[in-house]
Every structure is written in C-alpha cells, then in structure tokens.
C-alpha cells in the first residue's frame, strides 16, 4: 500500500514536472512569459498607449502575436482565442494610429520637399546667367515650341488610348493589347512630366529675370500662352498637399 | 504687452542666431518661434537683393530648420516649415 502511494506520488510529481517543463519550453520558444490573458492583454494595452512611432507599433503587434502563440502552446487554443479577443481592439486602434503616423510622416516629407525645392529654385534663379531680353525670349519660345510638340504627341497617344480601349473590350481583353495600353499610359505620364519640367524651366527663367533685374520680364516679350503663369509667379515647387491633423503632444 | 515681449524675444533670438554659434530653440519658445522665425527668416530669403545676400539668408534659414527639427520636432517644426513655404511661395 505504501509502495503504491509512493509510486503514485512519484508519478504525479513527474507529470507536474513535465507540465512545468513543457510550459517553460513553450514560453521560451515564443520569447514571453505568460501570466493570465487579462493581465497580459492589459500590459499590451498599456504599451499601445505610449506608442510614438511606427516601429513601436510593430513591436507591440509582434509581442501580442508572441503571447498568443505562447497561450496556444501552453494552455490551448481556447485561451489563445480569449487572449486574442482581448487584445484585438487594442491592435486595431494601434493599426489606425500607425496609419495616422504614416500619413503624418508622408505629409511632413512633402512639406520638407517643397521647402527644399523652393530654395533650390531660388538658388538656380539667382545663379542663372541671363543674356539679353531677346535671348531670354528666344529661349522661352524654344521651350514653348518643345511643349507644343510634346502636347501634340500626348493628344495622339490619348486618341490611340481611347480607340485601343474599345478594341480591347471587343477583343475580350487579350493580354498583348492590355500591355500595349499600359505602355501608352506610361508614355503619356512621362510626356506630361516632360511638359511640367519645361514649364518649370520657363518659370525659373522668369524668376531669374525678376530677381536679377528687379522687374518682371517685359510683357511684350512674354508669349501669350504663358501669361497666366507669369502673373502667378513661380509656383512650381508648391504642390497640393494632403491635409493631416497633427496631434503630437 | 505680451505681443511686445514675444516680438522682443523673437528679435533677441534672431540676433543671437546671426553668428556662427550652434542654434538652439527651447520648447517653451517653440510655438512663438515657429511663426516669428519662419516669417523673419523666409522673408529675408525672398527679399535678398543679391546672390550673396540670398546665400546667407538661405543658410540661416536652413540652420534654423535643422535646429527646429533637432530640438523641437512635432507640430511646431511642421508649423515652421509650412509657414516658410507660404512665404517662399509668395515670390
């Protein structure tokens, strides 16, 4: 009888030890020590409240996943699901916060780009060597002719794009025609960018004249089709920016 | 009175920053400085009358931008850059 009890005690101890070892191994495997789903979820929530950067948020998401894995290995899927349900709202809020931070960072990068390119434009204008008014006018006219040529090319490509789109529908969306359409669209984007670049050059020339001579480039030397942009001054560096509400601190 | 103090503070800060010493901006003065300094420094850039004047004004503006980014960051840094952009776009 005594021997039986001893054996039973030994078996219980061995089993308990095994459970402890398995628990320790599973928590070590995921790199976290679990307490209870509520306490660990509260810990994740407290950490999420102090998030300042996208990297912080990634760390929290990773930590929550580690806890979930640890619960799954140690206490089974039901507890892991319970933990997951507890932290899910926190992670969703954290994800939203991350998107917000990303938008803020993108907006800031745009604003900084505008700042730098505005100063670069001014630098170019100040350091540009200007010829006579006739030479400046000839340069602007040459640029305008180039723009007109590119715009005509864009129109041809736009027409081709429209007719090709109809042909694609009729032909049942064949791969080669879709590729051709994509190429035309890319080409149009590139040509439009070239037009913007040349217009930018003209703006810099006018700005250079204004800065260096202290007056506007005389109207009579300004081609009619660019009068509007002369009145506006140089606006090339200021792009429409996404409005973001900043709530840092 | 408050406005006068703010303006005086801005002017003192501006004069202190015209030499080659490292520019520092404290958090307490950041909000006012974001508006005052952006206006003063960016205006100097667009009102420069020679390339040399422009280069000096640009360097000063960029040094303050760096100081704002380094010492302040966040919303006041953003305000500083946005206000500069508005003024630079006026030219």
Nearest to B9 by CA among B86, B64, B30: B30
Sign (positive or negative) of CA dihedral A196, A198, A202, A205: positive
Cα–Cα distance measured from residue B20 to residue B63, given in angstroms and rounded to the nearest whole number? 10
Nearest CA in chain A to B48: A211
Cα–Cα distance measured from residue B81 to residue A237, given in angstroms and rounded to the nearest whole number? 14
- A110 CB within 8 Å of a chain B CB: no
Cα–Cα distance measured from residue A203 to residue A208, given in angstroms and rounded to the nearest whole number? 8
Residues 6+ apart with CB under 8 A from A200: A236
Asked whether residue B10 carries a pLDDT value surpassing 50, the answer given is yes
pLDDT digits (tens, 9 = 90+) for A154-201: 999 999 999 999 999 999 999 999 999 999 999 999 999 999 999 999
Measure in Å the smallest separation between the Cα of B58 and chain A Cα atoms.
7
Nearest CA in chain B to A231: B91
Residue A145's H or E segment, with its range, is helix A133-171
- A119 CB within 8 Å of a chain B CB: yes
Give the number of other CB atoms < 10 A from CB of residue B14: 17
Output the pTM of the full model.
0.64
Give the number of other CB atoms < 10 A from CB of residue B26: 10
Q: Note the pLDDT of residue A236.
A: 40
Write the residue in A123, A234, A249 that is nearest to B91 by C-beta: A234
| Residue numbers in B near A233 (CB within 8 A) | 90-91
Contact across the interface for A246 and B78, Cβ inside 8 Å: yes
pLDDT digits (tens, 9 = 90+) for B64-78: 999 989 988 888 999
Residue B69 has what DSSP assignment?
Answer: I
Residue A160 has what DSSP assignment?
Answer: H
pLDDT digits (tens, 9 = 90+) for A54-90: 788 889 989 999 999 999 988 889 999 999 999 999 9
* Contacts A–B by Cβ distance under 8 A: 51
Contact across the interface for B85 and A246, Cβ inside 8 Å: no
With a threshold of 0.85, tell me whether the complex ipTM lies above it: no
Nearest to B35 by CA among B66, B70, B71, B64: B64
Residues 6+ apart with CB under 8 A from A243: none
Asked whether residue A2 carries a pLDDT value surpassing 70, the answer given is no
Lowest model confidence (mean pLDDT) among A14-18, A101-105, A197-201, B36-40: A14-18
């Amino acid at each position: 009888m005594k021997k039986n009890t001893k054996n039973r005690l030994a078996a219980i101890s061995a089993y308990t030890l095994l459970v402890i070892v398995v628990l320790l191994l599973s928590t070590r495997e995921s790199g976290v020590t679990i307490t209870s789903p509520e306490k660990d979820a509260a810990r994740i929530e407290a950490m999420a409240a102090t998030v300042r950067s996208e990297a912080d948020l990634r760390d929290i998401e990773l930590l929550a996943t580690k806890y979930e894995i640890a619960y799954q290995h140690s206490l089974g899927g039901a507890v892991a699901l319970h933990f997951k349900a507890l932290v899910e709202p926190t992670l969703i809020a954290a994800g939203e916060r991350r998107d917000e931070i990303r938008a803020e960072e993108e907006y800031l990068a745009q604003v900084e780009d505008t700042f730098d390119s505005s100063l670069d434009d001014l630098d170019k204008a100040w350091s540009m060597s200007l010829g006579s008014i006739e030479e400046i006018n000839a340069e602007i006219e040459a640029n305008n002719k180039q723009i007109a040529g590119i715009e005509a090319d864009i129109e041809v490509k736009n027409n081709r794009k429209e007719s090709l789109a109809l042909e694609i529908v009729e032909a049942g969306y064949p791969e080669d025609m879709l590729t051709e359409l994509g190429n035309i669209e890319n080409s149009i984007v590139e040509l439009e960018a070239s037009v913007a670049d040349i217009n930018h050059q003209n703006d810099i020339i006018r700005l250079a004249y204004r800065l260096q001579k202290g007056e506007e480039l005389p109207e009579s030397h300004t081609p009619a089709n660019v009068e509007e942009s002369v009145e506006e001054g140089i606006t090339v560096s200021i792009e429409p920016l996404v409005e973001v509400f900043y709530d840092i601190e | 009175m408050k406005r006068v103090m703010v303006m005086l503070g801005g002017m003192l800060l501006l004069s202190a920053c015209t030499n080659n010493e490292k520019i520092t901006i404290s958090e307490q003065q950041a909000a006012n400085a974001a508006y005052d300094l952006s206006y003063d420094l960016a205006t100097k850039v667009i009102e420069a009358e020679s390339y040399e004047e422009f280069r000096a004004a640009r360097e000063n503006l960029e040094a303050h931008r760096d100081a704002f980014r380094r010492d302040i960051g966040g919303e006041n840094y953003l305000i500083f850059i946005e206000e500069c952009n508005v003024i630079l776009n006026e030219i």
